[in-house]
A and B are shown apart, each in its own frame.
Chain A
């Protein structure tokens, strides 16, 4: 398999502050990483596709100015939730594929964000 590490696993922040979540591919390079959000008792919904060295592609309805994505290297993508509000509280999880390689995706451990 392949290892994707996400940090932090859990974070609590105050309304109005920003939170950065890191996603690293530990034993492979990934030009593309994906960010998902999961609300309680629901499935995973794709938020954006992170592309190394270029702008991220956001899904419809996801505010790009609120969810800033940076993919500065072949092993690291970051998601910053800016000016967080309680409704941003959710489980955020990233994934990556080996590059080049199969279509099989591997996921990080996820980050549980609570905005108070």
Chain B
């Protein structure tokens, strides 16, 4: 099946800083999503982005499908951005395969 790798595994930022999270995948994808898992475990959909670029407020994402990677940008980070960010992909099979996540901590 498809392999999904995320980097960095951990990231600590000062409030107001910008960050870039990376997701590499091993095969062509039909779906790529970015999620934020809050402290209660809920997965919040950030982007559905199998290709191209999208922006939503301080967050934006870019997927370059031909080079098999996606980037999540967080600008002007806030303490409420803290949590785990997951990238997940669907290849030829329909189920999502998750990366190992990036634990983001934003310090006040």
Contact = CB atoms under 8 A, between A and B. Distances in A.
**How big is the B interface, by class?**
20 to 34
A56 B105 CA distance: 38
Interface string B33-70: 10100001111010010100000000000000000000
A107 B42 contact: yes
Interface string B5-37: 000000000000000000000000011010100
Q: Chain A interface mostly helix, strand, loop or mixed?
A: strand
A91 B41 contact: yes
Interface residues of A, number: 22
A49 interface: yes
Contact of A93 (B33, B43, B48, B90): B43
Given A43-B100, A43-B101, A103 B50 contact: yes
Contacts of B74: none
Contact of A43 (B30, B42, B48, B99): B99
Given A109-B41, A110-B42, A104 B33 contact: yes
Interface of B: 30-31, 33, 35, 40-43, 45, 48, 50, 86, 88, 90, 94-101
